[in-house]
Amino acid sequence: MDDTTTHHRIAIIGSGFGGLGMAIRLKEAGVEDFVVLERDADIGGTWWANTYPGCQCDIPSHLYSFSFAPNPDWTRTYPEQPELERYLKGCAEHFGVRDHIHCGCEVRSAEWDEDSTVASAEHTRSVHCTGADRFPRRAKRAVNPRSSGA
């Protein structure tokens, strides 16, 4: 392995709502050894990538937010892209997960080695995740959907 390889217990792909939500919950649970791999230049997932005129959510803002981070300051019932992007960035800062996010890292491949319980994700900087055997079987399935689960 070259000097750009990093090792983490958990790798999360993407920094949209799902990825940020997972990162925040891990941090709240006291887990610090994780990385969020984001291919784009900044966090926010679709709400960073899509900036076309009129881009907005078709779900009411009070429902389209984290249950643990309600936003009483939504300006519209159906928020537009810039407001959603600000909300996600604000959550990343507020919950202290910003330093775990690596932007500009497109995942090219990922594989699971059942025998060694190691997942590897190749992107612009190689990442290896170890220790999956310490996770409950349910979490392991999320990483390895082809697992028998037995």
Return the residue matching tokens 């300051």: 73
Residue 40 in tokens: 């784009």
Which CATH topology does 6-143 take? FAD/NAD(P)-binding domain (3.50.50)
For the chain, the structural domain boundaries read: 6-143
For residue 122, give the 3-state DSSP assignment. strand
Q: Are strands 6-8 and 127-129 parallel, antiparallel or unpaired?
A: parallel
pTM: 0.77
Q: What span, in angstroms and rounded, lies between the C-alpha atoms of 89 and 80? A: 15
pLDDT for position 1: 40
Q: What is the pLDDT of residue 121?
A: 66
Q: Minimal CA–CA distance to 113: which of 130, 126, 125, 127?
A: 130
Q: What is the mean pLDDT of each run of 10 residues along the chain (150 residues)?
A: 66 93 96 91 93 94 93 95 96 97 84 74 56 38 39
- CA dist., res. 136 & res. 54, Å (int): 43
What SS3 class is residue 126?
Answer: coil
Q: What local confidence, expressed as pLDDT, does residue 20 receive?
A: 97
Helices 17-28 & 81-94 angle (0-180, nearest 10): 20
Note the pLDDT of residue 4: 59
How far, rounded to the nearest angstrom, does the alpha carbon of residue 35 sit from its chain's CA centroid?
A: 8
Q: What is the pLDDT of residue 9?
A: 84
Q: What is the pLDDT of residue 49?
A: 92
pLDDT at site 32: 94
